Amino acid sequence: MGGVFVTGTDTEVGKTYVSVLVAKWLRSCGVDVGVMKPVETGCVEVNGRLEAIDAHALVEASGVDDDMSLVAPCRFRKPLAPLVAAELEGTTVDVSRILECFRELAARHSFLIVEGVGGLLVPLTGECTVVDLAARMELPLLVVTASKLGAINHSLLTLEAAKARGVPVAALVVNFLTPESNEAQRTNAVALRDVVSVPVEEMPYGGGGEASRFLGELLLAAGLNAAK
């Protein structure tokens, strides 16, 4: 099984958006792609159960019929860091359960896209952060940053955190959240390519076929190599 762990330099940078585009491209190429959102906060209650909006978007993009209890095993109401959201509900994030679900999905699919929550150092429990989870899954990272002022610093900090934990980074995506762009937005990717050793790809506002293809091919190669 190959796969990739999608993380962000912050919240609301477009992790789900990029994950959906990559999942759609891989599916269009005939890849048996599975998806997972191990922890989702800010879920809405529908008919007595918590619905994970991001996880549903991933499932729709990939076309899988895996049960949501596997795809999104840890769901919480409050849009807060998982550690805090879980404490407010009188529970904890069950990392062991997450890993069980991960192994089950990995056995079902040839490639698995796992989308994290927030950034790499977001705490899931008092002892486990998002990057710790990615390390335990042994998946390379796809880092998504929003193209805005501060993106360079946030991206470099994220890459440093990954390096410190020994987690490889397959690529960095500079995601445009609006159709308008200023000088900082237009130069972020250029500057990052000068200072990092990983591939840097721009995702234009509204998506881009070439960008999705490039990322899909790169991640497929990185994920399958990591599985060897």
H or E segment at 228? none
In a 3-state reduction of DSSP, which class is residue 86? helix
Quick one: which of 185, 221, 201 has its CA closest to 111? Answer: 221
**CA distance to 39, 54, 62, per residue, from 44 (Å):** 14, 11, 22
| Spatial distance between the Cα atoms of 200 and 221, rounded to a whole number of angstroms | 16
User: Residue 163 catalytic?
Assistant: no
Catalytic position from the list 15, 37, 78, 148: 37
DSSP 124-164: SSSS-BHHHHHHHHT--EEEEEESSTTHHHHHHHHHHHHHH
Q: Is the dihedral angle over the CA atoms 70, 76, 77, 79 positive or is it negative?
A: negative
Residue 39 pairs with which residues in a beta bridge?
74
Residue 126 DSSP class? S
Tokens of 198: 């990983």
In 187-199, which positions are buried (b, 16+ CB within 10 angstroms) versus exposed (e)?
Answer: ebbeebeeebebe
**Which residues have a catalytic role annotated?**
37
